[in-house]
Each structure stands twice: as C-alpha cells, then as structure tokens.
Amino acid sequence: MKQNTTSSAKSFGIVGYPLSHSLSPLIHNSLYREKGIDAEYSVFESPQLDRKKLQELISAGVEGISVTIPHKETAFSLADRADSASEIMKASNTLLFRNGSINAHNTDGEGALRSVLEWSPDSLHTGKTLILGSGGSARGIAYSLATSNRLRELVLCSRNEGAGKEIVDLIAKHSPVRVEYVSPESISNLRDEFSLVVHTTPLGMKGQAPGPFLGREFFHPGIALFDIVYNPLITPLVAAAKEAGCTVIPGSEMLLFQAMKQFELFTGTVPDEKDILNTRERLSQALSGR
C-alpha cells in the first residue's frame, strides 16, 4: 500500500465506500500543517472492512482511521476495546491501532450534539426529537442525544424495523429518556410533536438516491432539521424544510465536530477555537462549489 509520508510521519486515513465525496482529508491534513504535526491523512476506499484489511493498514504504518458508510458496525465488531458509546450502540467511526490493540471510538454522537447546541439548543427540549435511520450514524447520535440530559423524548423511524427497534431497546436500557420506534407509514401522524428532526441515512447524498425521507407537508416552523448529509448541503430534505420555514443545521457541522474529536484521538492535541473556525471556513469554501 503506497503512503505519501516520510519515514517519521504518522499515518492516518479514512475507510468507507464510496469516498469520492469525503472532505475528511482536507480537515485533517490542514490541521496537521497548521499545528506543525508530521502526519498524513489518506483515503483508503474499500467496499469491505475485515481483519485482513485492518492488518494491511497496520502493516503499512497506519495508526488510526476514520470509518464511514457502510462500515461503522463492522468496525466495532473488529475492535479489541471500545468506548462506552461504541460498546452500547455496537457501532464505531474511529479505530486506533496502538500497542497491538484495535481500539474503537464513536465521535458521531458528540459531533451531532455539539452541532445542535451551537445552532438550535432549544430544539432538544421544546418537543420530541426524531431520528431518521437505523445505521451506524443513527446509533452514535441516538446514544449521545439520549444521554445528554437535555431530551424530552426520542422517536426513531427507519425502513429497517428490526434495526430501528434494536436501537430503541439499547437506548431504553442505557438512558432515562422515553424512546419509541415509529414506522415511516405512521410518522406523519406525530409531525406536530417534534421540535428536532435528525436525518442519518444516505438519502440525498451525492451519488445516492435523492429521497427525501419526509415530504414538504411534514415540516412546520417549529421544527429544526439536522440532515447530516453535507454533499450537497441543500439536499431535497433540506430544501423541503427551508420552504416550510424550519431552522436548518448544516450537515457540515457534524463533520466538523466529529473530526475535531478524531483529530484529538489521533494526535493527542486538542483543537482550539481558532482550529474550529478555520476548519468551518475551509468546509464552507469546499462545499460552495458542489
């Protein structure tokens, strides 16, 4: 595996499929340069993630990886140790390779929570929170929101009923928040009860099915929408919410904040406010032409 690093440089990267849209290398490599860290962050696109793939990365000198769609649940299953969010929700978006051990972390939830607190903190408690989807991202986000001591009630809606109900059961066991599963066919009956909607599926992502998961008629001005898709920033779901007068939290904010935590895990350096502002500006510029 070819690495564009010097012999002394640390090596990190991202694993997922597809990855042509990823802005993670821009985030991490820019921070390495600005903070004088001898490291390189590369793209390791792969439709499969297994022990053979991880061993290949480790043998090439990679010390840690970001993990994205569709490998987050697999990443957790391959780890020797895991943080509490990963352990409880069975999904991880970060793997560290240290001292012969594979350590799993989930920074998705922290990134999502920080995004909501920056843009629409009241939406966490004025009504119910709706999470759309049941994949790896939904798991981490559901856990962090439910354990934040800020939610009134959590509703999960997904096309995969089995996976959705599994998340609901896990949340019910590990948080005091009231939580329930509602099918896509029934969710419109509850539209007036929601103050925050978090969309975690690939619908609307560049190269994926456009969606939207919900129609224009679902939204009202009392809802804040957080669509974690960031390429493009204006997905069909975001367009529907904007048309209805909703507050919209940019999907790039979760990318920003989860990456800040990954950067800290990879390098041991805590990003400061200047790092956050500079990275937000870089993301804005990169996404403006997409």
| Cβ atoms within 10 Å of 217's Cβ, excluding its own | 10
Q: Is 135 annotated as a binding residue?
A: yes
Q: Which residue in the block uniquely carries the two structure tokens 């821009």?
A: 26
CA distance from start to end of the chain: 30
Q: What is the DSSP string of the chain?
A: ----S-TTSEEEEEEES--TT--HHHHHHHHHHHTT--EEEEEEE-S---HHHHHHHHHTTEEEEEE-TT-HHHHHHH-SEE-HHHHHHT--SEEEEETTEEEEE--HHHHHHHHHHHH-GGGGTSSEEEEE--SHHHHHHHHHHHTTT--SEEEEE-S-HHHHHHHHHHHHHH-SSEEEE--TTTGGGGGGGEEEEEE-SSTTSTTS----SS-GGG--TTPEEEE---SSSS-HHHHHHHHTT-EEE-HHHHHHHHHHHHHHHHHS----HHHHHHHHHHHHHHHHT-
| Cβ atoms within 10 Å of 122's Cβ, excluding its own | 13
Q: Is 23 annotated as a binding residue?
A: yes
Q: Is 230 annotated as a binding residue?
A: yes
Q: Is 137 annotated as a binding residue?
A: yes
The one catalytic residue among 53, 72, 90, 128 = 72
Q: Is 228 annotated as a binding residue?
A: yes
Q: Is 84 annotated as a binding residue?
A: no
Q: Is 133 annotated as a binding residue?
A: yes
Q: Is 173 a catalytic residue?
A: no
Q: Is 68 annotated as a binding residue?
A: yes
Q: Is 258 annotated as a binding residue?
A: yes
Residues making up the binding site for NADP(+): 133-137, 228, 251
Residues making up the binding site: 22-24, 68, 93, 108, 133-137, 228, 230, 251, 258
Could you give the residue numbers annotated as active site? Answer: 72
